[in-house]
């Protein structure tokens, strides 16, 4: 009897907790701000030590419904150093609108020199930054990863960037990460439909693996920053980066990381830190209050006017890391989006009817042995790996190796 | 299904049969009905037979309204405002007589004029007791006050009355005595005492108190004197008061903005997961809101959550919630009195700008053992009380604990399976009547919460405190009370989301307080209350320490703080005329911020920032770093505009010497309390309010409305991007500014009848302005909800079945929203609006509950009741917040709802011992 009661009670409690925890919910929210926004200028300037040619981008903030870069042309842009030297920036045909290009000779790019930017817009607004000091960065040392398995059984490789801690160098840094990897299409090309002149014809051939292996590279749209101030008792500054899971092919064949480092002033570090907190952190039960990151640019005509962005000066360093892959990463093959689906013949006809010449051939998978006469389709990236954004030509850094 | 049907049939069928057999209640709807018609109607519906003279009832009308009322309830109400009364003779005779001519004086007994002795039946002979008791239902008691050998010869004399609960022997707070003949009345103070000034003679007195049976008696005033009166608890289900903002008290007291809740109001109202929660229920009163459901803390009249002082038996609570705010940390089952001072705050209270919540727990029954408890889906609780020395000393022990950890382990979700949640609270008290003049008591309290989310985040927070209390009556006019309490609030957290940056943090605040006050009845029209208090604060902001072997987090000692706050207070309550009462109080508080401490001096040009330290001042242990002091005036006035209406005014000034470091919309258990220091000045506020109160006695309804304006200075707000765990220099992360609030509050309550409850509407605004935040422009407070409508109702199908509902609507709270998107380094970012410029969608929620009482036989030893709750019946996904984040280079918005579906729960409660404590 007691067991029966216990079981009943347990079921009641179980149901209750399932209800309460699954009642908390997060839904996508679509917000349209219909208010007439004033023009808010955005300045994205970063003077770097790696190049004589420097760039400053000028744009305006755009409405939430139309998230595109909205350049501002016809501005007068200049950069001054603390010794009164002036470097003028202009829009050129070689770059898109809103990108102002100027040259700062290497002899001015010494550590300790300070720079500021002034900008006059077509409507007479004068925007000016504070002086920013060029500070020396630390050499990038090594990249490593730690393997973890989460509670769902997913394997993850968490990457860390290591830099030697040294008092001779500046304390604040921002990093950009570009990752590259090799991946394979799931199926060889055997049969396909393609345009011959203006007609679509069917082709059947031996297994073609020419579009089976691809290489892809992409920037990670995240802010990574670090400070020596947060390090204690270590010889290296360890910067947590991204992770790679066994649900993609990144870690299956080849993987590489290109890390780019920018030295920052404390103010620039705080600016990027606020941007990171505001843009990348989710919600907690207590409700974080978002805020705008205050940059170092102001409008001289109207000090109350908000100017977004930052004008910074950074020591630039970059290093490529070719990553040694783990022997057993437990890949989920089924997660690579290449299943074949049986369809009605009309579906295939409809697909072919909408096939454009520039789309290229439409590949078909081999029907399974138990249903050789069936009509099957699959994602085209499962045959031509380029359809998933990569290229078949191997990157030079892997060639060199 | 069959398993379900059987208990339902067992429960419902006997009740249904029982209901049909009962014929002692009737439905009434008499509005200005001729009394003859009324009598005929009653005679038709009942077995009663009336005897009267035609002359006596000629031209008289009756107004009484209600469903399924007891016959004698109907008669009481019907004749209440007529010159007539009725006398009942068993089995079915009713005599209608003239009130003025009817002699109803019983054999009387004389009380000592100098002592507060209760009207003890044991002083009478058995025959006399039987004689009196046998006629109690029909005849008013006569209480002789004073000494007939010391007759006052027509002069007004001072009468002191002390009212007690018959069951618990607890003094009744807010009980009223109303003298019909001259229209004067008074309400009891915290000691259950009140003072009247009457000439020699006999007077009809109405005695009322929430949850107690109304009583009428004859006061035979012979000279100055005192008497005690014991009120039986109200047990008639039909007229049971489930919520009472104590309208009688409001009309006759002199304190605007004072709300009181009875534990009964909590018992029957719907609640989340069946947890009775008086603090959550208080949010149904006008002027009290929270940021959202599930959030910790309340916001009173436009004030921040850290501007409320929670006292449980005078012990301050620095966190009043379990599970981050889903439940309060106070077990409602042990609460005796619950009062909220949000307008007029007596001078004895201080230290917070917005309100004082005072919670008194039961002192325990000094005659018999009593136990009660309950079990809800999330926790179980048990209370035990009884005599230590019969009639002298009593104890109360209560404990409540969750067993949610046990549940989590059985969930399929891996994150939750690897998590653990646990909370408990314990309270114990002992009360000792040393002699007739002195009383000593002690109280202990501990609440604790632990939450571990998949080993990534760990929170533990704990309230631990206790106190000793002593009251002594030096004379009839002078009474002293003193207490010593110590409260310690601490928390520890572990953040292991990123093992390289993982850290742990511990924090504690210790509050040690000693307070003594004297109450002096200067004249029958004037009461004085004065005293002083001393508080010592000891805060350890703790260390940020690396957690785990892979953590590279820098160790940071956030430092400690010490300070003491003392205050002297004086308050005078004076009855200017029969219709005007005033109270004037002054509180003068001192605060000293003390060493040891290093104070950093910043250069003027670059302002207060870590990069701009130009000097350091070192202070030794005990050395004064900064002193603050100032007066706080408290004034109130009560103008009685009619027998059942009054107009009240209030003006209060408050000072606050500590605040919470918080950068979230709702406060968290891990927010740090921080003292005013070298840079941050104490917050000050001024509030003026006007209220009008009216009781519609014939309808059993009451209405109140208040308007207020509150202005606060030196409110501390965080700078954009502030991180209180990354720097010990709080002054570099905060700024101070002003907060203005104003509002209108309305409440309509129906206390009687099968359907009772209340509806409230609040219009309020609250703004903050801080130079350096939001471009120096003022912005709405996080909890600013201009329109709030709450409806709470109980419908009693019978004494055993009660259906209750809450309906809540409020304007959505302010939120900082994205205005536009801009690009930096080819990544999109959100340009946010001004702080709190927009609002989340409006909030709406309906809760239902059904209370099923067990057998209500009076002499049954064991009572129990079931409560079926449905929280958020409509399943509306009320937004807690809207937030936006960058994902793969795209900005996405999300709406987060804490509880987005109906939640059905059942809880069970029991009482062991025939003792109506609620």
Q: For B157-182, how does the pLDDT look when each residue is reduced to its tens digit (9 = 90+)?
A: 888 888 887 766 677 877 888 887 77
From the list B742, B687, B792, the residue with the least C-alpha distance to B285 is B792
Segment B781-810 mean pLDDT: 89
- The alpha-carbon gap from A284 to the nearest alpha carbon of chain B, in Å, equals 9
Confidence band for B16, pLDDT divided at 50, 70 and 90: very low
Residue B37 and residue B35: Cα distance in Å, rounded? 5
Mean per-residue pLDDT, B70-84: 81
Stretch 201-240 of chain A: residues touching chain B, C-beta under 8 Å: 219, 221, 223, 229-232, 234, 237-240
What pLDDT, on a 0 to 100 scale, did the predictor assign at position B107? 41
- The fraction of chain A above a pLDDT of 70, given in percent, is 84
State yes or no: pLDDT of A107 exceeds 50.
yes
Supply the pLDDT for residue B94.
Answer: 86
Reduced DSSP (H G I as helix, E B as strand, rest coil) percent helix, strand, coil of chain A, to 5: 20, 40, 45
Are the beta carbons of B831 and A28 separated by less than 8 Å? no
Across B359-372, average pLDDT: 87
Q: Determine the residue among A7, A18, A20, A230 to mutate to test chain B binding: the one whose Cβ has the most chain B Cβ atoms within 10 Å.
A: A20
Contact A229 B554 (CB under 8 A): yes
Average pLDDT over residues B796-801: 83
CB contact under 8 A, A17 and B411: yes
- Whether B282 has a pLDDT exceeding 50, the answer reads yes
**Contact of B760 with B789, CB cutoff 8 Å:** yes
pLDDT of residue B622: 92
CB A268 within 8 A of CB A95: no
Q: Same CATH topology for B121-234 and B258-609+622-912?
A: no
Strand partners for B809: B789, B844
Higher pLDDT, B66 or B832: B832
Q: Which residues of B touch A248 (CB under 8 A)?
A: none
pLDDT score at A53: 92
**Cβ-based contacts of B547 with chain A (< 8 Å):** none
Smallest CA–CA separation between A260 and chain B, in Å?
13
Kindly state the DSSP code that residue A292 receives in the 8-state scheme.
Answer: P
What distance in Å separates the CA atoms of residue B459 and residue B457, rounded to the nearest whole number? 7
pLDDT at A356 over 90: no
- The domain defined by B258-609+622-912 folds into Maltoporin; Chain A (2.40.170)
**B900–A24 C-beta distance less than 8 A:** yes
Q: At what angle do helices B71-80 and B35-45 cross, to 10 degrees?
A: 170
* pLDDT of A125 strictly over 60: yes
CATH second-level architecture of B121-234? Sandwich (2.60)
Of B295, B324, B831, the CB nearest to A292: B831
Label residue B747 by pLDDT band (50, 70, 90): very high
Average pLDDT estimate for B783-795? 91
Q: Do B414 and A230 touch (CB under 8 A)?
A: no
Query: Given pLDDT bands bounded at 50, 70 and 90, which one contains residue B598?
Result: very high
The pLDDT confidence band at residue B914, using thresholds 50, 70 and 90, is low
A34 near B CB under 8 A: no
Residue with tokens 């990863």: A145
Are B202 and B216 in contact by the 8 Å Cβ rule? The answer is no
Residues 6+ apart with CB under 8 A from A305: A125, A299
Cross-chain CB nearest to A61 (options B408, B663, B822)? B822
End-to-end CA distance of chain A: 72
Query: With DSSP H G I counted as helix, E B as strand and the rest as coil, what are the percentages for chain B, rounded to 5?
Result: 10, 55, 35
The predicted model gives B612-626 an average pLDDT of 92
Write down the pLDDT at residue B467: 96
End-to-end, the C-alpha distance of chain B in Å comes to 35
* CATH number for the segment(s) A41-133: 2.60.40
For B341-352, what is the mean pLDDT? 92
Distance of CA A209 to the CA centre of its chain: 30
Per residue in A1-57, pLDDT tens? 444 444 544 444 444 444 444 445 667 766 555 555 678 999 999 999 988 899 999
pLDDT at B353 over 50: yes
Note the pLDDT of residue B142.
82
Residue B594: predicted pLDDT: 95
- List, for residues B412-431, the tens digit of each pLDDT value: 555 666 778 889 999 999 99
Residue A105: Cβ-neighbour burial (10 angstroms; 0-12, 13-18, 19+):
exposed
Place of tokens 């501007």: B307
Question: What pLDDT, on the 0 to 100 scale, is given for residue B466?
Answer: 96
Number of CB pairs, chain A paired with chain B, less than 8 A apart: 225
Can you give the residue ranges of every domain in chain B?
25-98, 121-234, 258-609+622-912
Please state the rounded mean pLDDT for residues B140-159: 75
Domain boundaries, chain A: 41-133, 184-215+337-400
| Residue A3 token pair | 């067991």
Contact: B500, A240; criterion CB under 8 Å:
yes
B488 phi/psi in degrees, rounded to 5: -125, 120
Which residues of chain B are within 8 Å of residue A240 when distances are taken between CB atoms?
498, 500-501
Q: CB-based contact (8 Å) between A274 and chain B?
A: yes
Identify the pLDDT of residue B439. 92
Average pLDDT over residues A355-379: 88
Of the pLDDT bands very low, low, confident and very high (cuts 50, 70, 90), residue B447 is: very high
- Label residue B772 by pLDDT band (50, 70, 90): confident
- Is residue B510 over pLDDT 90? yes
DSSP-derived secondary structure letter, B834: S
Position B131 scores a pLDDT of 43
**pLDDT at residue A319 tops 90:** yes
Residue B48 is predicted with a pLDDT of: 84
Closest by CA to B717, choosing from B755, B758, B774, B763, is: B774
The model's confidence at residue B277, banded by pLDDT at 50, 70 and 90, is confident
Question: Using the beta-carbon criterion (under 8 Å), do A288 and B416 form an inter-chain contact?
Answer: no
Is the pLDDT at B783 greater than 70? The verdict is yes
B25-98 belongs to which CATH class? alpha beta
- Arithmetic mean of pLDDT, A56-73: 89
Taking only the tens place, the pLDDT of each residue in B380-420 is: 899 999 999 988 899 999 999 987 665 566 555 556 667 78
Taking CA–CA distances from A304, the nearest residue in chain B reads: B775
Least confident of B241-245, B721-725, B890-894: B241-245
Q: Which residues from chain B sit within 8 angstroms of residue A69, using beta carbons?
A: 823
Looking at the complex, does the CB of residue A148 fall below 8 Å from at least one CB of chain B?
no
Question: Which of B512, B562, B504 is CA-nearest to residue B533?
Answer: B512
* Half-sphere exposure in the Cβ direction for A162 (13 Å, CA): 10
Chain B residue with minimum CA distance to A221: B889
Q: Are B342 and B287 in contact (CB under 8 A)?
A: yes
Please determine, for residue B119, whether its predicted confidence score (pLDDT) is greater than 50. Answer: no
Tell me what the pLDDT averaged over chain A comes to. 84
DSSP one-letter string for B766-802: EEEE-TTSGGG--EE-TT--SEEEEEEEEEESSSSEE
Query: Which H or E element spans position A17?
Result: helix A2-23
Q: How confident is the model at residue B886 (pLDDT cuts 50, 70, 90)?
A: low
- The confidence band for B590, taking pLDDT boundaries of 50, 70 and 90, is very high
Q: Residue A288: what pLDDT?
A: 65
pLDDT attached to residue B9: 36
d(CA B50, CA B469): 55
Q: A258 is written with which tokens?
A: 């290109």
Q: How far apart are CA B355 and CA B708, in angstroms?
A: 13
In A289-364, the DSSP E strands lie at: 297-299, 308-314, 316-322, 341-342, 362-364
Q: Of residues B164 and B122, which shows the higher confidence score? A: B164
Render pLDDT for B651-674 as a digit per residue (tens, 0 to 9): 999 999 999 988 777 777 778 999
Tokens of B395: 């104890």
**Nearest one of B31, B29, B22 to B66, comparing CA atoms:** B29
Average pLDDT over residues A136-144: 89
Helix (H) or strand (E) holding A220: none
SS3 B878: coil
| Cα(B354)–Cα(B824) distance, integer angstroms | 44
Q: Which residue has the higher pLDDT, B699 or B169?
A: B699
What is the nearest CA distance from B454 to chain A, expressed in angstroms? 9
What rounded mean pLDDT belongs to chain B? 81
Kindly indicate the confidence band of residue B228, based on its pLDDT and cuts at 50, 70 and 90.
Answer: confident
Instruction: Categorise residue B776: left if φ over 0, alpha if ψ from -120 to 50, beta otherwise.
Output: left
Contacts of A208 (CB under 8 A, 6+ apart): A188, A189, A190
Neighbour count for residue A282 (Cβ, 10 Å): 12
Q: What is the sign, positive or negative, of the torsion defined by CA atoms of B671, B673, B678, B681?
A: positive
Stretch (H or E) spanning B192: none
Instruction: Check CB contact under 8 Å for B775 and A304.
Output: yes
**pLDDT above 70 for B127:** no
pLDDT at A111 over 60: yes
Average pLDDT value for residue range B125-142: 50
CA dihedral over B778, B675, B298, B630, signed as positive or negative: negative
Q: Kindly indicate the confidence band of residue B750, based on its pLDDT and cuts at 50, 70 and 90.
A: confident
So what's the pLDDT on residue A124? 92
List A residues 355-394 in contact with B (Cβ-Cβ < 8 A): none
Residues of B whose CB is below 8 A from A227: none
Kindly state the average pLDDT of the residues A183-208: 89
User: B820 vs A281: CB contact, 8 Å cut-off?
Assistant: no
Note the pLDDT of residue B120.
40
Q: How confident is the model at residue B265 (pLDDT cuts 50, 70, 90)?
A: low
C-alpha–C-alpha distance, residues A315 and A263, integer Å: 5
What lies within 8 Å, CB to CB, of B569 at 6+ separation is B347, B348, B350, B517, B529, B530, B531, B532, B533, B585, B586, B587, B588
Read off the pLDDT of residues B302-321 as tens digits, 9 standing for 90 and up.
999 999 999 999 999 998 88
A284 interface with B at CB cutoff 8 Å: yes
* pLDDT tier, B138 (very low <50, low <70, confident <90, very high otherwise): very low
pLDDT digits (tens, 9 = 90+) for A212-254: 999 999 998 888 988 876 566 667 788 888 888 888 888 889 9
Which comes out higher in pLDDT, residue B889 or B354? Answer: B354
In DSSP notation, B531-583 reads EEEEEEEEEE--EEEE-STT--PPPEE--EEEEEEEEEEEEEEEE-SSSEEEE
Position B73 scores a pLDDT of 83
């Amino acid at each position: 009897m007691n067991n029966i009661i216990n079981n009943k009670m347990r079921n009641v409690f179980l149901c209750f907790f399932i209800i309460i925890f699954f009642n908390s919910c997060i839904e996508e929210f679509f917000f349209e701000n219909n208010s007439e926004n004033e023009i808010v200028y955005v300045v994205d300037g970063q003077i770097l030590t790696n190049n004589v040619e420097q760039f400053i981008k000028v744009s305006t903030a755009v409405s939430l419904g139309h998230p595109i870069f909205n350049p501002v042309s016809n501005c007068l842009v200049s950069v001054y150093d603390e010794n009164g030297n002036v470097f003028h920036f202009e829009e050129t045909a070689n770059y898109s609108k809103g990108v102002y290009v100027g040259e700062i000779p290497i002899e001015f790019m010494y550590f300790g020199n300070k720079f500021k930017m002034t900008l006059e817009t077509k409507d007479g607004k004068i925007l000016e930054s504070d002086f920013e000091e060029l500070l020396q960065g630390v050499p990038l040392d090594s990249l490593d990863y730690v393997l973890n398995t989460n509670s769902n059984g997913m394997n993850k490789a968490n990457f860390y960037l290591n830099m030697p801690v040294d008092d001779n160098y500046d304390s604040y840094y921002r990093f950009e990460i570009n990752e590259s990897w090799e991946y394979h299409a799931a199926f060889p090309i055997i049969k396909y439909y393609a345009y011959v002149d203006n007609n679509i014809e069917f082709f059947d051939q031996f297994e073609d693996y020419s579009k089976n292996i691809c290489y892809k590279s992409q920037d990670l749209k995240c802010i990574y920053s670090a400070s020596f101030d947060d390090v204690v008792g270590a010889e290296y500054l360890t910067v947590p980066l991204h992770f790679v899971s066994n649900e993609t092919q990144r870690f299956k064949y080849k993987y590489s990381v290109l890390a780019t480092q920018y030295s920052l002033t404390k103010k620039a570090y705080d600016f990027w830190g606020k941007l990171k907190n505001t843009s990348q952190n989710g919600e907690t039960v207590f409700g974080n209050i978002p805020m705008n990151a205050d940059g170092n640019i102001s409008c001289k005509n109207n000090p109350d006017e908000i100017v977004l962005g930052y004008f910074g000066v950074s020591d630039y360093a970059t290093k490529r890391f070719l990553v040694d892959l783990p022997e057993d990463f437990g890949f989920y093959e089924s997660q690579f989006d290449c299943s074949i689906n049986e369809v009605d013949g009309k579906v295939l006809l409809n697909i072919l009817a909408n096939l454009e010449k520039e789309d290229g051939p439409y590949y078909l998978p081999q029907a399974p042995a138990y249903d050789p006469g069936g009509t099957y389709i699959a994602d085209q990236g499962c045959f031509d790996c380029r359809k998933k954004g990569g290229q078949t030509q191997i990157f030079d850094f892997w060639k060199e190796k | 299904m069959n398993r379900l049907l059987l208990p339902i049939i067992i429960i419902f069928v006997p009740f249904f049969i029982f209901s049909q057999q009962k014929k002692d209640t009737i439905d009434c709807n008499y509005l200005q009905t001729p009394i003859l018609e009324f009598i005929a109607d009653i005679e038709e519906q009942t077995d009663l037979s009336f005897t009267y003279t035609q002359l006596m009832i000629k031209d008289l009308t009756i107004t009484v309204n209600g469903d399924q009322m007891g016959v004698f309830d109907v008669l009481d109400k019907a004749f209440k405002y007529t010159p007539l009364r009725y006398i009942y003779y068993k089995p079915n005779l009713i005599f209608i007589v003239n009130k003025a001519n009817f002699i109803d004086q019983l054999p009387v007994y004389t009380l000592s004029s100098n002592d507060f002795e209760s009207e003890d039946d044991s002083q009478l002979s058995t025959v006399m007791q039987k004689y009196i008791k046998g006629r109690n239902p029909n005849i008013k008691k006569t209480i002789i006050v004073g000494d007939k050998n010391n007759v006052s010869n027509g002069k007004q004399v001072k009468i002191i009355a002390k009212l007690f609960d018959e069951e618990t022997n607890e003094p009744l707070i807010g009980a009223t005595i109303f003298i019909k003949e001259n229209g004067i009345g008074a309400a009891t103070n915290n000691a259950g005492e009140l003072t009247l000034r009457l000439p020699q003679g006999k007077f009809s007195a109405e005695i009322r108190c929430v949850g107690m049976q109304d009583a009428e008696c004859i006061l035979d005033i012979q000279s100055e004197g005192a008497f005690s009166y014991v009120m039986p608890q109200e047990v008639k289900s039909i007229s049971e008061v489930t919520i009472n903002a104590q309208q009688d008290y409001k009309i006759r007291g002199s304190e605007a903005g004072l709300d009181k809740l009875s534990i009964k109001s909590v018992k029957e109202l719907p609640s989340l997961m069946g947890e009775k929660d008086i603090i959550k229920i208080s949010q149904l009163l006008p002027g009290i809101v929270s940021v959202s459901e599930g959030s910790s803390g309340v916001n009173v009249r436009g004030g921040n959550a850290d501007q409320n002082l929670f006292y449980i038996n005078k012990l301050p609570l620095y966190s009043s919630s379990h599970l981050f705010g889903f439940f309060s940390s106070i077990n409602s089952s042990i609460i005796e009195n619950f009062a909220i001072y949000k307008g007029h705050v007596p001078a004895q209270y201080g230290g917070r700008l917005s309100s004082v919540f005072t919670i008194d727990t039961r002192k325990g029954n000094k005659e018999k053992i009593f136990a009660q408890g309950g079990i809800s889906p999330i926790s179980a609780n048990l209370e035990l009380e009884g005599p230590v020395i019969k009639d002298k000393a009593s104890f109360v022990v209560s404990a409540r604990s969750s067993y949610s950890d046990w549940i989590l382990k059985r969930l399929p979700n891996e994150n939750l399976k690897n998590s653990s949640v646990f909370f408990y609270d314990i309270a114990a008290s002992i009360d000792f009547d040393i002699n007739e003049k002195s009383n000593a008591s002690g109280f202990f309290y501990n609440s604790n919460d632990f939450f571990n989310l998949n080993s990534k985040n760990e929170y533990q927070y704990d309230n631990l405190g206790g106190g000793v209390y002593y009251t002594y009556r030096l004379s009839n006019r002078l009474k002293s009370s003193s207490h010593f309490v110590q409260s310690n609030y601490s928390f520890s957290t572990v953040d292991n989301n990123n093992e390289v940056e993982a850290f742990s943090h511990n924090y504690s605040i210790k509050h040690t307080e000693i307070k003594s006050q004297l109450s002096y009845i200067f004249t029958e029209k004037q009461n004085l209350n004065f005293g002083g208090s001393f508080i010592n604060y000891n805060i350890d902001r703790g260390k940020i320490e690396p957690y785990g072997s892979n953590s590279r987090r820098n160790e940071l000692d956030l430092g400690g703080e010490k300070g003491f706050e003392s205050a002297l207070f004086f308050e005078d309550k004076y009855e200017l005329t029969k219709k005007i009462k005033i109270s004037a109080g002054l509180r003068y508080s001192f605060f000293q911020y003390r060493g040891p401490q290093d104070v950093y001096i910043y250069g003027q040009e670059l302002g207060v920032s870590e990069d701009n330290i130009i000097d350091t001042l070192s202070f030794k242990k005990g050395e004064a770093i900064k002193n603050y002091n100032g007066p706080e005036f408290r004034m109130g006035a009560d103008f009685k505009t009619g027998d059942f209406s009054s107009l009240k005014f209030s003006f209060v000034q408050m000072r606050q010497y500590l605040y919470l470091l918080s950068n979230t919309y709702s406060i968290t258990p891990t927010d740090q309390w921080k003292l005013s220091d070298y840079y941050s000045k104490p917050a000050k506020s001024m509030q003026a309010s006007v209220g009008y109160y009216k009781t519609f006695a014939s309808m059993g309804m009451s209405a109140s409305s208040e308007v207020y304006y509150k202005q606060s200075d030196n409110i501390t707000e965080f700078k954009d991007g502030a991180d209180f765990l990354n720097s010990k220099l709080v002054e570099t992360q905060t700024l101070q500014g002003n907060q203005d609030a104003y509002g209108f509050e309305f409440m309509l309550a129906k206390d009687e009848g099968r359907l009772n409850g209340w509806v409230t509407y609040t219009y309020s605004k609250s703004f903050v302005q801080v130079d350096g935040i939001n471009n120096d422009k003022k912005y709405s407070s996080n909890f600013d909800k201009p329109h709030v409508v709450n409806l709470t109702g109980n419908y009693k199908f019978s004494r055993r079945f009660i259906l209750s509902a809450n309906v809540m609507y409020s304007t959505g709270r302010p939120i900082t929203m994205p205005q536009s998107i801009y690009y930096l380094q080819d990544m999109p970012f959100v340009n946010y609006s001004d702080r709190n410029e927009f609002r989340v969608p409006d909030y709406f929620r309906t809760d239902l509950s059904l209370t099923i009482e067990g057998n209500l036989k009076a002499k049954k030893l064991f009572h129990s009741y079931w409560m079926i709750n449905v929280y958020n019946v409509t399943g509306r996904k009320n937004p807690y917040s809207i937030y936006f984040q960058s994902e793969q280079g795209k900005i996405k918005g999300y709406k987060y709802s804490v509880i987005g579906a109906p939640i059905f729960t059942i809880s069970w409660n029991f009482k062991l011992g025939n003792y109506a404590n609620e």
